[in-house]
Amino acid sequence: MLTEDEISKYSRMPISSWFSTFGHPEISEPKWDKVERNDTVRMVFQSHMHNEIEIHQIHSGTLYVEINGRAYTLTPGDILIINPYELHQGEIPIAGVTSYAHVVLDPWYFTGCCGIAGEEIRRISAGEFHFPNVIDASSPLAGEIRTLLDDVHSAFTDAVGGSSGDDCMLAAAVIRLLGTLLKKIPILREGDAVDRKNQFVHSIQLYVQQYFRNNLTTEKIAADLGYNKSYFCKLFKQNLGMPFLQYVNEYRIRYAIVWYRGYPLTEIAGEIGFKDYSYFARVFKKYTGMTPHAYFNAH
C-alpha cells in the first residue's frame, strides 16, 4: 500500500520512487516512525508485507533486512528486491549515514503491456514466482539495474505534476526495468507450502479491503474463510507477524489518513469501522504517535 505522501504526489499509476537518508545532520529523515532497538541499531521499517514489488538501491551505510525470516546485510551498490507478499523489516546502524533509492510498483498494472512476459508478471504479482532478494554490488547486473532505477526515479520526478507524455515516459522506464529483471535474473518458483501461504495472505488482504468498515472479528473472518479460530490465529501470526485485529486497525488508520482528510473526526471514525470515537483516537495515536486532531491539523 502506497503511503499518504506518495499518493498525494502522484496517483495516476501505482508507482513511486524516492530517496531516503538517515543520520545526516542537514537532510530531513522520512516521516515514518524510527524505533531504536538497542544502542547500535534502529528499525526504519517495521515488519509488514504488501502486493507491490519494492526495490532498494543502497547508496551509503548499511541496511539490515529480514525477509520471511531470512537475514541480509546490504552495503553500497547492493540491490534489494522485495517480492509481493514477502514479510520484511529493515534496520540501520544508529551511528553514521545510511541512504538508499527506493522504487515501489504494482506489477499487476503492467501485465497487459509485455506480451508473453505478462503471464510471468501475473504470477509474480500472485506470489507464485519471485526474484532473488539480493543482487550483489560486484555483479555486472547490479550496475545495469542501478541505471534503470535512476531512469525510473528521473521519469517519476518528471511525471509528478507533469503531462500525459511524462506518464508514458515513466511507464516505459518501468517496463525497461521489469524487462531486464525478467530477462537477466532467474525467476524462482515457489513450492506448495509458499503457494498456500501466499494464497492465505491474498485472501486476507481482499477480505479486509472489502469489509474493513464492518464490525470485523477474528471469529467471523475465520469462519468466512473456512478456518477454525485457533488455527486461523496461528496462521495469521505466522504469516503477517501480528494479531488479526491489529492488522485491521492499522489498515483502517492508513486508509483514514489517505482518503478522509478534511472530514469531521467523528465521521472518519465511523466511516472506517470504529463504533467508538475514543477507541479510534487511542488506536490512531498508537499508530501515528499523534491524536487525530493534532495529526489532521498538522497535515
Express as a percent the part of the chain with pLDDT over 90: 36
Measured in whole angstroms, the distance separating CA 167 from the mean position of its chain's CA atoms is 22
> Going by C-beta distance under 8 Å and a sequence separation of 6 or more, which residues neighbour residue 233?
218, 222, 243, 244
> Going by C-beta distance under 8 Å and a sequence separation of 6 or more, which residues neighbour residue 211?
none
> Going by C-beta distance under 8 Å and a sequence separation of 6 or more, which residues neighbour residue 69?
87
Distance CA 85, CA 125 (A): 9
**CATH fold match for the domains 4-189 and 192-298:** no
What is 192-298's CATH superfamily? Homeodomain-like (1.10.10.60)
- Report angle CA 89, 107, 194 to the nearest 5 degrees: 55
Q: What's the whole-model pTM score?
A: 0.69
Each residue's pLDDT tens digit, 136-172: 999 999 999 999 999 999 999 999 877 778 999 999 9
Residue 96, CA distances (Å) to 22, 27, 52 in order: 8, 13, 30
Q: What is the mean pLDDT of the chain?
A: 85
Which helix H or strand E contains 41, and what residues bound it? strand 41-48
Each residue's pLDDT tens digit, 225-250: 888 888 889 888 888 888 999 999 98
Higher pLDDT, 111 or 258: 111
- Cα first-last separation, the chain: 19
Distance CA 72, CA 81 (A): 11
The strand order across the sheet containing 35-36 reads 35-36, 41-48, 88-93, 63-67, 70-74
CA proximity to 53, closest of 185, 174, 140: 174
Label residue 55 by pLDDT band (50, 70, 90).
very high
| CATH fold for domain 4-189 | Jelly Rolls (2.60.120)
Going from N- to C-terminal start, the domains of the chain cover: 4-189, 192-298
CA proximity to 110, closest of 170, 186, 66: 170
Other Cβ atoms less than 10 A from the Cβ of 173: the count is 24
